[in-house]
Structure 1
Amino acid sequence: MTLSLLLNWRLHLAAVILSLIAEAIGIIKIPLGPGTLLLLPLFYAFILGVLLNPHLFSATRRVMPEAVSHAAGPIILLSIMPFIARFGSTIGPAIEQIISAGPALILQELGNLGTMLIALPVAVLVLKMGRESIGATYSIAREPNIAIISDRYGLRGPEGVGVMGVYVVGTMFGTLWFALMAGYLASLDFFDPRALAMACGVGSGSMVAACSGALAGAVPAMKDDLLAFAGASNLLTYATGLYISLFIALPVAEWLYRRLRGPAREQSTVGAVDEHALAADSETDDRPEQQLGRTAIVLAVVCAVAWITNTINGASLVAAAPGMIILYVMSMLGLLITRAAPFYLPGVAWVSLVSILLTLPWFPGSGWMVEQLKAVNFLAIVTPVLAYAGLALTRREFTMFRQTGWKLVIIALLVFTGTYIGSAIVAQLLL
């Protein structure tokens, strides 16, 4: 994708306007039973982005051409980088607390098995689904999990239909669902907020952003601690999540499916995904660290978008300038290491590690950096991420969402719920 398209003024101006509107609306609290449902600015930014998406309404193509909307896809990852850096900057100062909670952070990863323990029996016994239930329920179906299913079964088989269906639902609604769950459960005062924060580390940047942001809004007095625990948990997920999915979750899902349905291979009950839908928008851009010159320019633009958005509920442009520059530098350092490292670890993981290192109490100048970063509102720099995400949804994702059926929508929400609550329960017991 060309640099001129990634820098298209319509895309970034739309992200700024949608984010400012969302931030101006603020947090809305809705009483719901014994708890409270929190609607955050990121929720409105996503919805507004979807409404402006040219693949949903043809009338919006005059304002947002399809090619410009397509460019929003790779920008989502870059817009997450400053948030990840801000995230990591909360871990460094709280390193002693995190070390003391070490066993809980590590073992809560096993709570992710709650995905299948809740969703798989419902899929097989209640909704009468076939083998697509394996792909749909063994994980939260983010990119590494799709790679596992693609390698093992192929994406056009029933298992592939299942994992792609949950992926599409997660892309469209996962961030919102995690934000709503986290905020609501925090309002119940049943779970330790730190346990809920650990459960946020699910391996998806936008999901952990929404989840931890909702917790920070629900329990503002513990904001820094909660962000630190969520960031540490997410970092561990990058290190261990793929192996837990491959060597534990998928074999358990196969075993449980055979016990529930029988050993015979079942046919898919939701229909095959349209091959043209799979082929559409198949272009994949190089990872950000492969084109550092281009990345540096685009990252500067998305940091400027976050900087402007921060003026509503954060600090003025002048006060927040040093903090945003620090986040930009941290992000670029992380991407430089990603490219130079002898082994592959996602760029967001390296960015997180860099920001943790630079804000450790014994690192020179860490106190000054932490002080400058206080002017950057955590929730404010997440809002543009969701605006870009709404604008980036492709025709393929809208098509697949219609084709995968209502059953996979139900299963996807059960998967997200089981993952989050399962991890929170394990963390709660260990704490």
Structure 2
Amino acid sequence: MNDKSVLSSTMTKHLLDWKLHLLVIAVSLLAEWIGIIKIPIGIGTLVLLPLLYAFIFAILLNPNVIPAMNAVITKKRAKFASYAVLLSIMPFIAKFGVGVGPNIDEIIAAGPALLLQELGNVATVLIALPVAVLVFGMGREAIGATHSVAREPNVALIADKYGLQSAEGIGVMGVYVMGTLFGAIYFSLLAGVIASMNIMDVRALAMACGIGSGSMMGACSAALAEAVPAQEETVTAFAATSNLLTYATGLFVSLFIALPFTEFLYKLVSKFKKKSVDVAAETDFGAMMQEQAPLSTGQSFALLVVICVVLLLSNWVGQGVGPFDALPAMLILFACCVVGILLKRVIPFNIPAIAWISVVAILISLPQFPFNAYVLEETAKLGVLQLLTPVLAYAGFAISQMEVDLFKKSGVKIAIVAILTFTGTFLGSAFVAQIML
């Protein structure tokens, strides 16, 4: 990687800023202390996880959301939390990958369901697009907004095909922003409620969690594991495998199936549209997006060390396992992350580092791996939920002024379309997987 393209070395001190990480520790420990709250809601049970509280507490301390909080942490300090979000999800992804090996036979048996459930994402279009066009009067921005859950590969696809300044680009960026703000929280609530209703195989629901987003997959599967604690290992294994397969197949499904179908359905539905709203004029997402300078390898490793310390403290409060007792487990996950980051740097394919981390973690957990028993014994000391809580805390601090402004400008329209898109993706994938199991 060209050194000029990475974050300046003079900025490294801001990445390791003690105040930001101390606030994340405080928020995470408070959230873990509160614990899990279950609320019966008639049709099922609403499961409130510590990650939700951590996210809310961090938002309330974010100076971009509440200007008075600038006295607690400055905007300059808070903006570096965005770098920690991606890195903090890596040990969690490694923990998930380790859960695949012991369940490899069950996963192989469910192979067709894992491969084909991606086709269920077409339900996203069926549910969200008619509302976007007929209720909110959207134009072609509805195509970008409803063809997928709008994570990075989908944004890249729309940018390449239409351009981010196009109506389609406006739509995909709107859902992308909403997903960044609330996606993980929404998936955790949705998965918990559906699991508590006992209407679908938990394996199908776990597969539906693997949508190609580490934080969304993590929150979704954590809620499932809490709703069905006896099958936590199964949930972990199927969600991790599904997420990994989505990295490999999701973009192609979007390109050759979801996007053409969305174009077709838009032409059909738009014939009944009464009114068109120029969302592009209201909210120019493309013009406001700013690309972050990536971290160097050294910066990534240094920040990852700090994050691992934060995760150990969160695990201590949530799991009751002391940091020194859990240190070997964290070192195993750290090693997986290091190898995954290096593979991303040296292998000339556009494959996310977290995909490589998943592969490495799966390999060391397979029965054929020489130290498989030791890996499983040690990593069992780290809780799934406890590794995710700090991720959402960092995410709360990482919300920028741009995202706050975009949320205000887009109003409820994009938010509702995004929720329908997320719901369609989850239910569609779960339905296909249920049929195939």
Q: TM-score, normalised by structure 2?
A: 0.94
1:318 aligns with 2:324: yes
1:348 is aligned to: 354
Alignment of 1:269-280 (within 5 A): 269-272=278-281
The answer (yes or no) to whether the contact 2:210–2:217 under 8 Å persists in 1 is: yes
1:164 is aligned to: 173
The answer (yes or no) to whether the contact 1:310–1:376 under 8 Å persists in 2 is: yes
Could you tell me which amino acid in structure 1 is paired with residue 309 of structure 2?
A: A
Shift of 1:206: 0.7
Q: Matched residues in 1 for 2:257 and 2:140: separation?
A: 18
Q: 1:430 to 1:378 in 2, by over 3 A?
A: same
The answer (yes or no) to whether the contact 1:131–1:267 under 8 Å persists in 2 is: no
The answer (yes or no) to whether the contact 1:132–1:268 under 8 Å persists in 2 is: no
In structure 2, which of residues 375, 380, 384 is the aligned counterpart of residue 369 of structure 1?
375
In structure 1, which of residues 114, 128, 146 is the aligned counterpart of residue 137 of structure 2?
128
1:298 aligns with 2:303: yes
Could you tell me which amino acid in structure 2 is paired with residue 311 of structure 1?
A: W
Q: Matched residues in 1 for 2:163 and 2:288: separation?
A: 17
Matched position secondary structure for 2:47: strand
In structure 1, which of residues 337, 342, 346 is the aligned counterpart of residue 343 of structure 2?
337
1:285 is aligned to: 293
The answer (yes or no) to whether the contact 1:156–1:273 under 8 Å persists in 2 is: no
In structure 2, which of residues 293, 309, 312 is the aligned counterpart of residue 307 of structure 1?
312
Unpaired stretches in structure 1, ≥5 consecutive residues = none
Q: Matched residues in 1 for 2:123 and 2:201: separation?
A: 19
The answer (yes or no) to whether the contact 2:124–2:420 under 8 Å persists in 1 is: yes
1:405 aligns with 2:411: yes
1:138 aligns with 2:147: yes
Q: Matched residues in 2 for 1:429 and 1:29: separation?
A: 29
Q: 1:281 to 1:57 in 2, by over 3 A?
A: farther
Shift of 1:271: 4.4
Shift of 1:304: 0.6
1:212 is aligned to: 221
Matched position secondary structure for 2:38: strand
In structure 1, which of residues 47, 56, 66 is the aligned counterpart of residue 65 of structure 2?
56
Q: Matched residues in 1 for 2:70 and 2:414: separation?
A: 30
Q: Matched residues in 2 for 1:99 and 1:51: separation?
A: 44
Task: Write out per-residue CA displacement over residues 187-207 of structure 1, whole angstroms, 9 at most, x where no aligned residue.
Answer: 000011110000000111110
Alignment of 1:75-86 (within 5 A): 75-86=84-95
1:227 is aligned to: 236
1:359 is aligned to: 365
Q: Matched residues in 2 for 1:117 and 1:269: separation?
A: 22
Matched position secondary structure for 1:404: helix
1:14 is aligned to: 23
The answer (yes or no) to whether the contact 1:273–1:403 under 8 Å persists in 2 is: yes
Matched position secondary structure for 1:272: helix
Shift of 1:150: 1.5
Q: Matched residues in 2 for 1:148 and 1:405: separation?
A: 25
Q: How well do the aligned residues superpose, as a CA RMSD in angstroms? A: 1.6
1:30 is aligned to: 39
Moved over 4 A (4+): 277-281
Matched position secondary structure for 2:40: strand
Could you tell me which amino acid in structure 2 is paired with residue 139 of structure 1?
A: S
Percent identity of the aligned residues?
52
The answer (yes or no) to whether the contact 2:209–2:243 under 8 Å persists in 1 is: yes
Matched position secondary structure for 1:336: helix
In structure 2, which of residues 377, 385, 391 is the aligned counterpart of residue 385 of structure 1?
391
Bigger shift: 385-394 or 255-264?
255-264
Matched position secondary structure for 2:279: coil
Matched position secondary structure for 1:29: strand
Alignment of 1:243-262 (within 5 A): 243-262=252-271
Could you tell me which amino acid in structure 2 is paired with residue 426 of structure 1?
A: V
Unpaired stretches in structure 2, ≥5 consecutive residues = 1-6
Could you tell me which amino acid in structure 2 is paired with residue 299 of structure 1?
A: L
Q: Matched residues in 1 for 2:305 and 2:288: separation?
A: 30
1:92 is aligned to: 101
1:177 aligns with 2:186: yes
1:416 is aligned to: 422
